[in-house]
Structures are given as structure tokens and as C-alpha cells.
Structure 1
């Protein structure tokens, strides 16, 4: 493997380095607005074959494969845990086509590309082609988060990735069993029996574990503080037992287990899923760093022009043909078919499973099985980089991006909310006002604003509201408790720095002060609902001011000394402010400041004159 530091790192130092690189890559990608997977891949290659600081096979020894296998199992369980069947309603037919028709077509097309383009034997091509069905849930999730697709194409890609992951692994198992029968004296009936038995046990284990945990959690048999540990232990046990019966069947078992738990409406489901998401971020980061660092310079050097041609054929021909044929006659529009056909990123499961089966094929005398690992890594690297940078622009080109500009969801339809929404709409920003009281939305509808009648925390809102369009939430209803509930519930999804609420009436009292973990950030002048709306009723208005080299931030402050800066749109990024001075606008040419300011004097004078004429007794009597 990688050379450079012959003595190697101590395992503890190795773990620390992997964690620092993984989390550091995620943070840097967030700061630079880049695909995190690209940076993780680059970091692994740098410390592995590049500098030789980390060689996982050397530093972790026999623990490497079990570590990767367990991490992949937990990642797939979390993927199953995110598959709510209600979200499949408008994408069900497309998902069925992609799984039942697209997967076999993809298997055949990939095997053909491997044999005729990469030059592998049919035996190796059949096994590797089965693994290539996998489109990588470890890659799709961060890509979708970055690209901000519309709901249906995002659901299609996510469901295909999660469902096809265990399907691809089992397809490889089936192909390997067939090759094993041909190359050895093993009987075909015995191999087929083992395969059917393993799949049956995996399915039974996964569903039984999901059912048992759901019953135990809902009946209070497990205390809250032990639910996550019990969940982790159960995942590991199910994966280990199923994998012992039939290798790679554990992936199917844990996926089904997560799918069952996701659809039984557990009271603590949201907390479980959020913790799992956080654990998955760490695991995806770690696995990518490990697999990239585990590549040797010799392996990378073996990737020649033929390997590059193979990758190009898979991306531009094999994947699109399989997807377009499987979706023919479906209700999926052509724009969505094109996006899905050109989006097939591969992830850690492909590399891990390909390396395992490559070694097994080589052991039974099929020498080119050793080429599976480097080809898998080349395909993963190419698709990660390509889709990491191209998915967002491609979605915008096809009109499938949820929003090209940062959107704002305002909860509460009072005059203050309507005035702010109208100012944001002038900047062509997606803005919606939601309220569970239909009467409160009258002003927003009269202003031509987009509205949602209902509770944004209700399950129905998840299916009718495309929350991906919005990156900021402002809770501004007349119910302080509801505002706090909305911002607390949506905080983890949007980010604590992106949820705001009007000040609670009793917030200054120590007796009624809430912990910092509850509620959103203050916005504008940090006023209560009554104070904010009274200001609007008194004639204050939201204004949008564009700065330039001639009219700077200093000039704006001098000309509008009473104005309260609420937000700033600069370089496509929208940032809201609180009452703290250091949170104010940065300014600069082209920056647009949204502020709350007193009504202009000339407009106020005209309004006063109109009012006086309307109540003049002489005018009224004629």
C-alpha cells in the first residue's frame, strides 16, 4: 500500500487523523460551498498514496475490513430509516421501474462495458456488474443537500440509491456463487439453496428486529436515554448474524430494519433519525478517507486510458441506457428522466464490496479479479467529482432545481410578516407565508404572495411543502409558544443560525427564560409580536436599498439614521440580522439591504392630506 512512513501510525493516532480529515473536509466544503465528497476524496489520497502518512491496511491491520463493513451497515440502516413510504407517493412508479427493470438492465450494461471496454473476463464482469447497480447512498445524500433538487427527482434518486444498495450486493453474491459453481466442484443446487436461505434469513431478521424494536420503544420497555444504544447494538447484531449466514446479506437486513422503524410512527423517531444522521456524517467521512488512503501508488498508476474509457462508457452510455429504458412509459417527465440518467454516483459500498469479491475471485484462480478494486475506485472518484460539480448546474438547466436563490419561510400572516415578504419578493426571492389560521392569510393572498394554510409541523406539510426551497425560517405568529416550537423543531434541519422568531413577551423575566437550546434567534429590533406589528401600523415600512461605489453603507446609515437593518442580500447569499451591532450588514457595491424604516416624509404628507380630505364635512356633504 502507500509508502513513506514505514513504522506507521499508532491506531489511536490513525483514528484521530481520519476523524480530523473527515470532519475538517465537511466543514471546509461548507465554507467554500463545494461538494464535501470531493474534498474527502482529495484528503484521503493526499495523506495516503500522496504523503504516505496513513496506510489503513498497515496501521489498522485486520480491523480495517470489519470497520468498513460495520460503517457501511450503519450508513445503510440510516438510509432505510429515512425512507418514509409517504414520500414515495408521487415517485412510486418510477422507483419500481428503476429497481425491478433498471437494476437488471444496469447489471447487463455494466457487465458488457467491463468485458468489451475494460477487458475483464465474463466471470469477473458478471460479478462486478452486479455491484455496479449500486448508486451510492453515501454519496447521494450530500449531493442532494448541495444541489437542492425538487422533491420528486430527489426522492427518485434517494430511493434508488438506498434500495439498490443491498440489491447490488446480493446480485454480486449471486454472480459469484454461479462463478464458484463453474470454477469448482460445488453443486449448483447447493449454491442456489444457500443463496435463497441467506436472503430469506436476512429479510426475516431485518423485519423482525424492526418490529421488535418498534414495539419495545412504543410500549416504554426501553428508557429514552437507552434507545440510541439499543438501536446501535441491534443493528450490529442483525448485520453480524445475517452476514454470517450469507456474506453481504447483512446489508439487506439492516436496510429493511430501518425501513420498518421509519414507517411505524414512533414518538421518538425524529430524535433517533437526527442522531443517526449525525453518526452517518462521521461514518461517511471516515470511510471515504480510509478507502482513498488505502489505495497504493501502484494501483493508481495501473489506471490507464482503457480504464478512463470504461468510466466514460459507464457514465455516458451504460447508466443512461438502463435508466431511460426502465422509465419508458412511466409518469416521470423527460427532464427528470434525463437528470436521473446522467446522475449515477458510486460510493463506499462499491469500493468495499468490489475489493472483497476481487480478492475472492483471485483466490479461486480468476486473476483479473484483482483489477476490480482499482476500477471501482476510478469509477467512484470520477462520478464523485463529476456529479459533485455538475448536478446543481444540470438541475438548473433542466428546471429541476428547487430554488436558484435562497428562500424564506415566514410562519404567521400578520401585517409585519406580509410587509417583510413583499420586500423579499421584490428581490425575486422565493418566499412563502404559512399560518394555521386561514383568516390570517387574507393580507398575504391580497398581496399576491405564496401562502400555505396549515401547520408547518404537521405531517401533511412535509408532503405539500417543498422545504428544500427555503433556507431561512422566521416564526412570527401571535403565539409565542408556537413560535418557539417551530424554531426548535426546524432548527436541526435548517441550522440554528437560520431560524428566527419574534421576541417572546416574557423573555426578560428569569422565571420565564428558556434554555438556549429552545427557540430561534432574534430578528431585526428584537421586538414582540405586538410591538413589531404596531410599528408597521404606525407607518413603518420595509425598504430595499442597493449599495454602490457612490452610495456606500456609510451613506445609507447617514441618510436613514432610524432604519433597522433586517437582512442583506450579497453575492447571492441572504443573511438576516439580530439586534447586535456586530451582526449588521457588511455592505459593498451591489449589496442589497432590507431594512425597516419610518414612512418617507413626502409619502406620509400625502397620506395625511388624503385622510384629512376624506373626513372634511364640507367635502363629505356634497
Structure 2
């Protein structure tokens, strides 16, 4: 409290504290497998109203609202970048109905809950109700990976989140513009005209900004190293000009700009989007910490019984009813409908946008708008905690989980890959083998292993392969360059620690060696494609052994001196693929997968039981 009474933190120190808490909360959530937003909420409240260490209004003064507004604009721009209409047109009928029917019904249901249950005015309810459509891919994606849902319910939830992220914010923007114009214009005619002009100008600016970026990048008018800075500058310019023409229309403009760029087919789009994704993580963390720290006990005191009833109404009525209505008379099974209907975690985008519009509504004289931010925090905390701990059990109860164990994606259909895939399948792990040559997949299909015929980097793979099921990737085709390309391209999605690649033929030559930033980690004995397949053809096999209190890791090593450890599956379901430098943990209950010489003949039954080969 002394820090606060002395005038608060230095602004630079406050910036550092917000960044450290935001990113630190996300890292800790990853380590503990907890929803990051809950930790950020706790961190913001602790340094804000609880201890008084940080008061954003004091540290940043008049710059606080512009900072949040720009951050929200960048977040919504990134949301627009995720909306590839080509991929949406190929999506399932259920996804389209969730967007075309579920969104307006959800807006109406949320607005009704806010007005009739939470007791907000129609003006505030309409704006906040639009924001509540947002579920957010940054919240859904970790939950889907943890729950390991089947393909269709996972696709429904994931695509709904991707599309509704910008659409929900856009609905809030339009509702706010209506409220703003009606309160500031002198009559209905001028109000409608001002609104239409503002929307038209914002749309035109967004389209012009997106078209200009695409044209400049395609014609090489901007060097590669300046593409991201130019993109940021144009984004800020479009936001500022549109906002100047009609207050808050800048959010609409940048969303349309992102939508245009996402569907332009830019060759450098992946790099641009990846950088924007990283920037958004930082901005989302910072905005959430600032909004939580800006709370006061007086504002939190509005969370009375009506707030609790509102949260229950959203979870039990406002979310399920529109989803069930949207998915009615479709080929989506009733179990999948129930799971999607009762899974609607809200995320940081909702809190950020709600906090921004709540302040704006208060400024134009909507008195009850100061309840928007506390209600948003309550809704986010309740839904994230609820769905974070109930999605996986509910999916298992309904029989909608693909697997409770981490899967392995093997790229390349050689004999070595098929034998390894069969061993993983023996461990009851989900396995799929992908190869652009259909003939290479014949042995995998005969072994009963799932296959994908085509380029694993293609859009067809994104639509047909359930990447969320597979935690590890092994690049093991006969083409070293293709292995390196796949390992490098998919590393951000899987995580570099989960990408493995067989040794390149010329890797030992300084002329042909690659930097550590390319390719994947070594696996097993770190052999080339030809060496690994020759060893299998020469009389080796993959075998799975279960350790116990009676048969320890030391016993296994003594009995199998020639074994090359490939992987271990811990008793808690944690899968580790092993390289030549990795040490085995050998916890009792662990299942070891190793390459061993084939047995000349079956050993006595007593010895087989002792080694617990499975």
C-alpha cells in the first residue's frame, strides 16, 4: 500500500510488471495445464485492488484508453486474419449453421439475459450481447488438445471460435454505433445517415488498406524485412482515420482489413500471421492484466446475486438454446450437439472488448455500462473454470473422445515407419501415417494403421487430419529435404520439442549441414532413412515392455543390452520420444518401446511374464 500511496509505480516499471505477469501467467498455465486466463485474472486482481501496487489510471493517465483501444484493434485485426472464407466454404454444414443461425440467435439470447436477468438497459445489453458471441480460439484450442475430442465436435467448436471472434466484436461495434448515433444525433433521419456513412467509410478504409497491402506485397514494392512494420503502420493508420470519421468504427475497419488479407492468398501470409499471432499473445496478456488491475472493490461489488443468476442463465440457456436450434435437422449426432451446446468458454478478447466498450458507453452517458467489465470478468472466470475442468469428463461420458492418450503422426510410409506405427498402436496410442505416394501406404493399411494420402502441408490435410489428436510428429520419408520442410513448417503448431526427424544423409558434411533452426530432433539411434530400414530388414523389430516394481529399468537393460530406446509412455499417459542423448526415466508402470534383434525362438513362458512384453 505504501507504493500506491507514494504515487504508484514508475510507468516504465509498470509496463515491465504488466508484461512479466501476463507472459508469466501464460507460461505457468502451460506448465500446470491450467486455463491461462484464470491465472492472469488472479495476478491482475492481486497487483490491483488487493495490494494497490498497480493502478493503471494513475501510472498511464490519459494514455490508458488509447493504449487499450489500439491493442484491441490489433487483436481484432488478427481475428480477421484467421477467417479464411475458402476454408469456411468447405466446412461442415453444422459449422455454417452455427455462424449463420447461431450467431444472431446467440446475440438475441445474450442480450435478453443481460436485460432481464442482469438488469442492464437495452442499450448496454445490445452492445455487451454482441461481444458475448465471442468464444475465442485462444481459449478453445488448449481445451480441445487436453480433451482430445473426435474430429467433428472438435471442428465445430474450433471453427465456431475462429469465426465468432471477429464476428462478435463486429456485432458489438455495430450495436455501439447505433447507440452512439442515436444519442448524439438530433433525429432519426440524421442518426441513420450518420451511421450508414460511418460504416461505409470504415468498410472502404478497411478494404483500401487490405487491397493496398496485398498489392504492395505481391508486386515487391516492400522489401521482406519491412513487411511487418509496414503492415503495422497501415493498420494503425486505417484504425485512426476510421475512428476519426466515426467514433469506434476503426475496429470495424481493421477487422475488414484483416479479412481481406486473409483471403488474398499472399505467399508471405504465413510469416505475417505468425508474427501477428505472437504480438496478439503479448497484447492479450497485457490488456487483461491492465483491465483486472483497474478493477476496484466498489466496481466488483456490483457482482451480486443477479450477476450469479446471469452467469447461470448464459451457461444453461443463452448458450445452449441457440446452438441446439442452429444444429437442428443436421447430420450432427445428438451427443455432439449437447457437447457443443454446453461448451462455450469466453476468453480474453471478450474482456478486452467489453472493457473498452463499457468505458465508451459510460462516456456517452449510459450509466449502467460501468457494470459491463465486472460482469465480463465474472462470465469469463466462470466459463473457463467450468469448461476447463468438465469438457474432457463430459466428452468421455458421451463417448466423443478420440483418445485419452497422445497420438503420433508419422510422415513417410516405409517399412521402418509401419513397424514403428504398429508398435505405437500396440501401446494403444492414436497413430496415422501420411505419404504423398499412395503406393507407400499399402503396408500401413494392411497393418490396420490410419493413413493420409497427400501432402501433410496441404489444405486437404488441415481439413481431414485431426491434428489435435496427435502430439508428436516423426518426419521419416525418403526425401531429406521434404522431411526438413515439414518439420520446420509444423514446428510452431506442434512445438519444436515434439518434432522428430530421421538423420539426413549428408548431415555430417559441413557443406550440407543445416542450422539448428531447421528440421527436427534426432530419434532413436539417429540413423538415416536407408540405415533405419536396413536394420529392420536385417532382423530387428520394435518391442514394447512394461516396467514394474519387480521388473525395473535396470533389469530391462541387463536383459536387453542391444536395445535402442525409441519412446516411453509413463503411467500417467505422458509420451516421450527419445533421441540418442535422452535418458530413460523408468518409473514403475512405464511402457518402453525399443528396437531389438528379433527373437530366434520364443522364450519360456516364465521369462516372458517376467519381462512383461506386451
TM-score using structure 2 length: 0.91
Q: How does 1:228-243 map to 2 (within 5 A)?
A: 228-243=228-243
Judged with a 3 Å threshold, the aligned counterparts in structure 2 of structure 1 residues 414 and 355 are, in CA distance, closer, same or farther, namely closer
Contact 2:8–2:59, Cα closer than 8 Å, also in 1: yes
Displacement of 1:603 in angstroms is 4.8
Q: For structure 2, which runs of at least 5 residues remain unmatched after alignment?
A: 605-614
How far residue 604 of structure 1 moved from its aligned partner, in angstroms, is 11
Partner of 2:175 in structure 1? 172
CA–CA separation in structure 1 for the residues paired with 2:538 and 2:415: 11
Instruction: Say yes or no: does 1:117 pair with 2:120.
Output: no
CA distance 1:3–1:356, change in 2 (3 Å): farther
Q: Which residue of 1 aligns with 2:83?
A: 83
Corresponding residue of 1:589: 588
Q: Does 1:67 align with 2:67?
A: yes
Q: Distance in 2 between matches of 1:314 and 1:453?
A: 43
Instruction: Confirm or deny: 8 A CA contact 2:545 2:593 kept in the other structure.
Output: yes
Shift of residue 406, structure 1, vs aligned partner: 0.8
Structure 1 residue 171, shift from structure 2 partner: 4.0
Q: CA deviation at 1:468?
A: 1.8
User: By how many angstroms is 1:399 displaced?
Assistant: 4.3
Distance change (3 Å), C-alpha of 1:333 and 1:197: farther
1:17 positional shift? 0.9
Task: Say if 1:272 and 1:505 are closer, same or farther in 2 by CA, change over 3 A.
Answer: same
Write the distance in 1 (CA, Å) between the matches of 2:144 and 2:254: 23
**Is the Cα contact below 8 Å between 1:202 and 1:253 reproduced in 2?**
yes
- Deviation per CA, 1:134-187, whole angstroms, max 9, x where unpaired? 434554455455555535213432234224223332243155247627xxx721
Q: Which residue of 2 aligns with 1:575?
A: 576
Question: Is 1:178–1:188's contact at 8 Å kept on the other side of the alignment?
Answer: no
For the residues of structure 2 that align with 1:480 and 1:245, how far apart are their CA atoms?
A: 55
Q: CA deviation at 1:86?
A: 3.3
Q: Which moved more, 1:166-175 or 1:474-483?
A: 166-175
User: Aligned equivalents of 1:585 and 1:165: distance in 2?
Assistant: 48
Q: Which residue of 1 aligns with 2:218?
A: 218
Label 1:479 to 1:109 Cα distance change in 2 as closer, same or farther (>3 A).
closer
Q: How far 1:381 sits from its partner (Å)? A: 2.3
Aligned to 1:102: 102
> Matches of 1:491 and 1:553 in 2, distance apart?
32
CA deviation digits over 1:478-523, x for unaligned, max 9?
Answer: 2212211111111121111111111111111212211111111110
Change (3 A) 1:138 1:544: closer
For 1:261 and 1:176, how far apart are their aligned partners in 2?
30
Residues 43-86 of structure 1, C-alpha deviation per residue, up to 9 Å, x if partnerless?
11222122222221221112221111111111121122122223
**Map of 2:510 onto structure 1:** 510
CA RMSD of aligned residues (A): 2.6
1:441-496 CA distance string (max 9 Å, x none): 22212211111121212332222222222111111112212211111111121111
Q: Which moved more, 1:107-116 or 1:473-482?
A: 107-116
Instruction: Output the CA distance in 2 between the equivalents of 1:32 and 1:272.
Output: 30
* C-alpha distance in 1 between matches for 2:330 and 2:562: 58
Q: TM-score, normalised by structure 1?
A: 0.90
Work out whether residues 501 and 523 of structure 2, in 8 Å CA contact, stay in contact via their aligned partners in 1: yes
Q: Secondary structure at the match of 2:20?
A: helix
- Post-superposition offset of 1:96: 4.6
| Counterpart residue number, 2:301 | 301
* Preserved CA contact (<8 Å) 2:169 2:353: no
Any idea what SS the aligned residue of 2:83 has? coil
**SS of residue paired to 2:544:** strand
Count of matched residue positions in the alignment of Structure 1 and Structure 2: 600
Verify: 1:162 aligned to 2:165, yes or no.
yes
Output the CA distance in 1 between the equivalents of 2:308 and 2:162: 29
